[in-house]
Structure 1
Amino acid sequence: MPSVGQTLPLHQLGRRLRDWRDGAGYSLERAASMVPGMSQTALHRLEKGMKAKPNPRDVRAICELYGVPEDLIDGAVGLAMQAAQKDWWWHAYGGDIPEDFDVYVAQETAAESICSHQPNLIPGLLQTPSYVLSLARESLPDAEPQKLERIVEVKTHRKAILTRPKPVVMDVVISQAALHHRVGSAAIMAAQLRHLTEMTALHPNITLQVLPFEAGFPGGVSMPPFVILDFGRASDGSPIEPRTIFLENVVGGIYLRKPDDVSFYDRAYDRIKQASLDAKASQTLVTRVAKEYDRE
């Protein structure tokens, strides 16, 4: 059986192959007969996300039969290669990733876009190594230095989705409190805030807004940190995977996929964004607070 880490790319790949076959007008039987070495059963299992180690060459041959554009073929082959691996990169870190958080990292890696609301901390994907290390030392005061270093390495790996060839689109709203809640020293905070402005300036796929103190609580509710994961849409316009809300807390993560739950958080995120400073004003505020740390 496929592992938890494999499930998402296998289902994404299967959905795309099924859509492309339907679009090309091939029956399952006919398509299988036209791909060397492919049986109808094997193709069915591939489309259902049940084939644990899909052969990238088979995937390319199937896509070429359906007339899929080359850039989409590359994406499908990439999913096949990813799913075919025994483990994804984060599995190598074992206990250095909190229990069940590897499931989130798998979904984060596969996401097409991410919306993140953080009231008290800088979002993980935008944290500097020094900020990560300071948090780790606070949460694990008795940990060996090697363990802390591996926690920083995990965060560094995760950030690669922001700069990969087809980067994730990330929309972030942080509370002004996140700029003032000190993590580590003043120098660490100054560098962290400058990193925020640099990332948004250099990478157009990243948008940052700050919810100022004077905005109060949009909607009259103090919202916890949450992330909205969107995995894109298939050729027929349907979601490749259900949009997912991730709520992280000290006892583990919660995943919400029911339409009513997703709609609730969509509306909450829209209210928070509307009450926040725009991107330019947010940059100005972050820069000002960074300079205040520099003067300490």
Structure 2
Amino acid sequence: MKDDEPEDTGSTLPRRQLGRLLREAREATGMSLEEAARLMEWGKSTLSRLERGKSERVRIRDVIGLCELFGTDEEKTAAIRELAEQAPVRSWWRSYGDVIAARFNTYLGLEAGASELAIFQPLIVPGILQTTDYARTLDRQYFSRDTDEELDRRVGIRMQRQHIITRQRQPVQLSVVLHESVLRTTVGSRQIMAGQLRHIADLSTRDNIQVRILPFRAGFPAGIVVSQFIIMSFPKDSRGKPVEPTVVFAESFTGDVYLEETGDVRRCRETFRTLQRATLDDRPSRDLMREIAREHDSER
């Protein structure tokens, strides 16, 4: 991870996500920025700043007016309004009970635009590395009321996410630290786990993907229990400024938190490096994954 990149783009995550949704809604209609601004009786710069997340004040009635102009459906309008109502702060908490969590995934938009991902996961295989069988097993338990067709769509989305690390043109740089418990916790069956671990081991042979295992014997390298987190870094524009500031995403069963403050990002990077220093090297990590895959096979 790079420490010398400028972190501040002059906006906050809720504002940037609001702008992205509005821009996508406008573009879906084929309407130009100038045309939309004229119909709203605004100057072009006013709408441009809103779409770039640069507006200091966001009025709910203006946002609703844009939704009506673009013909967004009820679900997307609710998500847009929810974002507009968020305070423009650098640390943003989002409860799983709200409309965005239920119907709109902010994380996916950030992940798709990232150039680097650093993931620490102590409990479960990250979605971007999951096999179809592993993902379906988890979703069948969590979304127990879903039909098979709905489950297939959920799993399909997760599989599509993996394209960013396997594509030939500018794949995302992925660094993952997995605790050994992730490898030994059975999800679904021994057969599913064996296939999952071989899948990760195979992916880790790619030049842009590094997966290292934090073994049980490493104890607590940071001196405390560290929950899962993801550091997302973004490409730079023609002026050498990142299109998004680095964002740290942390998830729990009660909600998500997004951190952008320089101090928070720095601490997470330092913690990731501390954990990484305690891991097995690339090849031993791959060997351990394949060894445990064989153990899963033998105990079926």
Provide TM-score, normalisation by structure 1.
0.69
Report SS of the residue matched to 1:207.
Answer: strand
Report SS of the residue matched to 1:122.
Answer: coil
Unaligned 5+ residue runs, structure 1? 11-40, 53-84
Amino acid at match of 2:195: A
Report SS of the residue matched to 2:292.
Answer: helix
C-alpha distance in structure 1 between counterparts of 2:102 and 2:176, whole Å: 25
Report SS of the residue matched to 1:184.
Answer: coil
8 Å CA contact 1:101, 1:253 repeated in 2: no
Written as runs of structure 1 = structure 2, the 5 A alignment for 1:22-41 is none
Which of the residues 212, 228, 232 maps onto 1:229? 232
Partner of 2:82: none
Report SS of the residue matched to 1:106.
Answer: helix
- Deviation of the 1:49 alpha carbon: 6.5
- Deviation of the 1:197 alpha carbon: 1.1
Partner of 1:257: 260
- Cα gap change, 1:158 to 1:5, in 2 (>3 Å): farther
C-alpha distance in structure 1 between counterparts of 2:138 and 2:268, whole Å: 27
- Does structure 1 residue 177 correspond to structure 2 residue 177? no
Partner of 2:51: 50
Percent identity, aligned pairs only, is 33
Which of the residues 274, 277, 288 maps onto 2:280? 277
Root mean square deviation of aligned Cα: 3.1
- Cα gap change, 1:86 to 1:176, in 2 (>3 Å): farther
Partner of 2:7: none
Written as runs of structure 1 = structure 2, the 5 A alignment for 1:118-133 is 118-133=121-136
- Cα gap change, 1:98 to 1:166, in 2 (>3 Å): same
Written as runs of structure 1 = structure 2, the 5 A alignment for 1:190-229 is 190-201=194-205, 203-229=206-232
Structure 1 residue runs of 4+, over 4 Å off? 44-49
- Cα gap change, 1:131 to 1:49, in 2 (>3 Å): same
8 Å CA contact 2:179, 2:215 repeated in 1: yes
- Does structure 1 residue 113 correspond to structure 2 residue 116? yes
- Deviation of the 1:50 alpha carbon: 3.1
- Cα gap change, 1:108 to 1:9, in 2 (>3 Å): farther
Provide TM-score, normalisation by structure 2.
0.68
Which of the residues 145, 154, 158 maps onto 2:157? 154
C-alpha distance in structure 2 between counterparts of 1:86 and 1:110, whole Å: 26
Q: Which moved more, 1:134-143 or 1:113-122?
A: 134-143
Report SS of the residue matched to 1:99.
Answer: helix
- Deviation of the 1:179 alpha carbon: 0.1
C-alpha distance in structure 1 between counterparts of 2:22 and 2:192, whole Å: 37
- Deviation of the 1:235 alpha carbon: 4.0
8 Å CA contact 2:229, 2:251 repeated in 1: yes
- Cα gap change, 1:9 to 1:245, in 2 (>3 Å): farther
Report SS of the residue matched to 1:219.
Answer: coil
- Cα gap change, 1:264 to 1:86, in 2 (>3 Å): farther
8 Å CA contact 1:114, 1:168 repeated in 2: yes
- Deviation of the 1:251 alpha carbon: 2.1
Q: Which moved more, 1:174-183 or 1:97-106?
A: 97-106
Please list the CA deviations of residues 89-131 of structure 1 after superposition, one character each: whole Å capped at 9, or x if unmatched. xx8xx9xx95276110000000011000000111110000000
Unaligned 5+ residue runs, structure 2? 1-14, 24-42, 54-69, 80-99
C-alpha distance in structure 2 between counterparts of 1:51 and 1:183, whole Å: 42
Which of the residues 179, 188, 192 maps onto 2:192? 188
Partner of 2:245: 242
Report SS of the residue matched to 2:198.
Answer: helix
Report SS of the residue matched to 1:4.
Answer: helix
- Deviation of the 1:45 alpha carbon: 6.5
